[in-house]
Amino acid sequence: MLSVSLGPFALAINHLLLLAALALGTVVGWMSGRRQKINPERSLFSLFLLGLVVARLAFASAYWSQYQAQPLSIIDIRDGGFLVWPGIIAALIGAVIRGWQRPALRAPLGLGVVSGLLFWWLAGLVVSEQYEDARLPDLALLNAAGETVALRGYAGKPLVVNLWATWCPPCRREMPVLQTAQRANADVVFLFINQPQSPREVATFFVNQGLHLDNVLFDDRGELARQVGSAALPTTLFYNRDGLMSASHMGELSAASLKHYLDDISLDGFGESAMSSDSRPSFSRSPQ
């Protein structure tokens, strides 16, 4: 399962686990400090926000060339661009400083931080193990001409699979980013799998938006989303040349977050990305 639906909302599984870790740390901290009537809730939440801000700034710094033209887009966190380790280190340093300032807070704050991080790390290992052998599904989809196409026929190169629909606003916003990446990365195959609309609707949308995308397929029953466990659009899946899932992203991709994923594919030895513009979901590598 890559994402879960909560009424009208959907959350990526790694985001849900992050919130669960914060909740667990808050409960543990409150229970350990209640005899002394010390509640570290506010401090834990402040450290959580500190970690998020530092993780975001670290990501923006690493991919500044993608944000340089529109610096204010850094505050648009819908692309899920965060670097985990700088955020964790900042939160730990903040916890040490807070404990030094208020000695009575040290035990409940420390237990809260450690329990939250431990849960998040272990949950990440479980999720990663679940998707360690997740292969490109064995599905037959249709192309614009109505011909049957085997999804696994695209294995052999790094593969980016985008699940989208024309009625989905974030799907529409990220299309130019994906188009640019497709043109710039000849060593990566991009598949655009529509959920579920007619070829005529999609062709009209492309004409109106001035888009020119290769490898557009149609999944009229939403079978791919069901098999990979995606509860919302857009969802983008990243597979290595052997057809094994490397990462996943729920929500809108920016040029920076997409480049981050493509850089990871390059680091895994699947060719160097030429793009200049929370898989085995990895909590240390994913910008979510």
User: Domain end: 130, 160, 192, which one?
Assistant: 130
User: What are the helix (H) ranges across 34-83?
Assistant: 41-62, 64-67
Assess whether 50 and 154 both reside in one domain: no
Nearest C-alpha neighbor of 16 from the set 119, 91, 107, 151:
119
0.75 exceeded by the pTM?
Answer: yes
Q: What's CA 127's distance to the chain center, in Å?
A: 14
Assess whether 244 and 153 both reside in one domain: yes
**Cα–Cα distance measured from residue 60 to residue 81, given in angstroms and rounded to the nearest whole number:** 8
DSSP 74-123: GG-GGG----HHHHHHHHHHHHHHHHHH-GGGHHHHHHHHHHHHHHHHHH
Assess whether 119 and 157 both reside in one domain: no
Radius of gyration of the chain (CA): 21
Q: Quick one: tokens of 35?
A: 């005899």
Structural domain count of the chain = 2
Any domain includes 240: yes
Any domain includes 255: yes
**Which residues have C-beta within 8 Å of that of residue 177, sequence separation ≥ 6?**
253, 254, 255, 258, 277
Backbone torsion region of residue 237, taken as left when φ is above 0, otherwise alpha when ψ lies between -120 and 50, otherwise beta: beta
Pair 248, 237: CB distance under 8 Å: yes
Per-residue confidence in pLDDT tens, the chain, 288 aa: 677 766 666 778 888 899 999 999 999 999 999 988 999 999 999 999 999 999 999 999 999 999 998 999 999 888 889 999 999 999 999 999 999 999 999 999 999 999 999 999 999 888 887 776 688 899 999 999 889 999 999 988 899 999 999 999 999 999 999 999 999 999 999 999 998 899 999 999 999 999 999 999 999 888 999 988 888 899 999 998 888 888 889 999 999 999 999 987 765 543 333 333 333 333 333 344
Any domain includes 272: no
Domain range for residue 261?
Answer: 140-267
Assess whether 165 and 256 both reside in one domain: yes
Tell me the CA end-to-end span of the chain in Å, nearest whole number: 16
Any domain includes 204: yes
Assess whether 253 and 227 both reside in one domain: yes
